[in-house]
Amino acid sequence: MSDTDRALSRRGPARCATALRWDRDQLVTAREGDTVSLALLDAGILETSRSAKYRRPRGAYCLRGDCGTCLVRINGLPNRRACLTAVHEGIRIRPQNRLVAGADPSALVDTMLRGGMDHHHFMVRPRVVNQLMQGVARNLTGLGTLPDRMPDAPAQHRVLEPDVLIVGAGSAGRAAHAVLTDGGCDVVWVDRRDRDGIVAEANAAVSDALLDHTGVFGVYVAEGLWAAMRDTPGQPAVLYSIKPRHVVVATGARDPILAVPNNDRPGVVAARGLLQQLRRSDATLAVPAVVIGEGAYATALADALGVEALPPADVDRIEGNPVDAVSLRDGKGKRECQLVALAPLPAPAYELARQAGAAVRWHGGGFSVQRDQRGRCATTAFTVWAAGDVTGYMGPQSAADDGERVAAAVLHSLR
């Protein structure tokens, strides 16, 4: 595939090339630092799955590990996030929406059911027919089957009892970690993203103390326990049982969807995630693209990507499947493009704090974690503090300042 056919161009320093195998052994060239999602986008492969209910084509959207539309099978393991998985030599990627090996019924479904498969109303009666149809529909959901083989080594289990657990390595989490470690606290710091992605977002080095590839998946208030799993490629998985005195939730904010027609088409991505994916691989856009969003946030992302920003009110619909244009209202024509980057204001990633007992409040763009003036949001077997965008999107610098302020309050409480 020539450079002119690629979805992204490389304009940074020369970096080592590698290859991945996609679907039926299609070779895709990638570069050092690429995630699977970026490599596939770069090769013009936008559709990687189908939606569970209606079999609509899907591709990566948020590119930050939040939405799940990029789930693929990697080296025989199901439900891997392509946007969080770095490419390495010999990696094999397969979509997960196969009914049987080597065949994809999506085209047949598209032909027979023009409106998509609605399994809530399709073939409801008689009951035996509905049961057969439900069995087929479940196999079409693309949620993955069991791994091809058992892990090479069993998962390890470690129990940690730190003064403070920090969840998140965004601006607030990094600032909180610096304050707490300078204050002599015993800190466990985790983030589910890989280090390269975090460094690309921070545009700076990140402390070796960070446990990357480590996601908290459960909060057990009665037991005073936070459960996390570290899943580093090529290493045995590690289950952490963390029993902290204090927890700083700095999980940031995620990118929602803007309400414009056809916003789920392959080739529609989140502008913030796209920019971070490009930066981690020293890449810039080389195809026509537009940002849809309004305000200073969307304008800044459009400027960083080097594309035009369109207000959502001006957009009639996104065209193509995958996308090839954006049609505008009031006779303003259309914008030809190969990528559409949505730039809604990020919504707080509140779920872990809520699970730990924090109250949340709807503010029009999502649920934000409620806290007192010091930053405390819950007190049970541990004291939970909220810092940064999880309390309402405030931007990198303000989030860092907030992380420092909350961490100082935690230090005061410990002393």
| Contact yes or no for 392/368 (Cβ under 8 A) | yes
105-152 pLDDT, tens digit per residue, is: 666 666 776 666 665 676 778 888 888 877 776 666 657 778 888 877
3-state SS class at 41: helix
> Lowest mean pLDDT: which of 247-251, 286-290, 301-305?
286-290
Mean pLDDT over the full length of the chain: 89
Rounded Cα distance, 304 and 295, in Å: 15
Rounded Cα distance, 148 and 160, in Å: 32
pLDDT at 2 over 50: no
Q: DSSP string spanning 326-364?
A: EEESTT--EEE-SEEEE-PPPEE--HHHHHTT--EEE-S
Q: Which residues pair with 289 in a beta bridge?
A: 339
22: tokens are 């996609």
pLDDT given for residue 328 in this prediction: 97
Phi (first) and psi of residue 42, to 5 degrees: -65, -30
Region for 230 from its dihedrals, namely left if φ exceeds 0, alpha if ψ lies in -120 to 50, beta otherwise: beta
Rounded Cα distance, 205 and 381, in Å: 34
In the chain, what is the straight-line distance between the N-terminal and C-terminal CA atoms, in Å?
A: 61
Burial of residue 47 (number of CB atoms within 10 Å: 0-12, 13-18, 19+)? middle
Beta sheet of 214-220, edge-to-edge order = 156-160, 238-242, 225-230, 214-220
3-140 folds as: Ubiquitin-like (UB roll) (3.10.20)
89-104 pLDDT, tens digit per residue, is: 889 999 886 555 445 5
pLDDT at 283 over 90: no
Rounded Cα distance, 135 and 255, in Å: 33
Give the DSSP letter of residue 288.
-
230-245 pLDDT, tens digit per residue, is: 998 888 999 999 999 9
pLDDT at 180 over 70: yes
Q: What CA–CA distances, in Å, run from 107 to 98, 114, 359?
A: 12, 10, 46
The set of residues, in sequence order, having a beta carbon less than 8 Å from that of 110 and lying 6+ positions away, is 55
* Residue extent(s) of CATH 3.10.20.440 domains in the chain: 3-140
pLDDT at 249 over 80: yes
pLDDT given for residue 114 in this prediction: 67
Q: Which amino acid is at 382?
A: F
* Residue extent(s) of CATH 3.50.50.60 domains in the chain: 156-254+347-414
> Lowest mean pLDDT: which of 11-15, 277-281, 293-297?
11-15
156-254+347-414 folds as: FAD/NAD(P)-binding domain (3.50.50)
Phi (first) and psi of residue 332, to 5 degrees: -85, 5
pLDDT given for residue 14 in this prediction: 56
Q: What is the mean pLDDT of the segment spanning 146-159?
A: 86
Rounded Cα distance, 275 and 333, in Å: 27
205-212: long-range pairs with CB below 8 Å, 24+: 206/169, 206/174, 207/177, 207/181, 209/177, 209/181, 210/169, 210/177, 211/240, 212/169
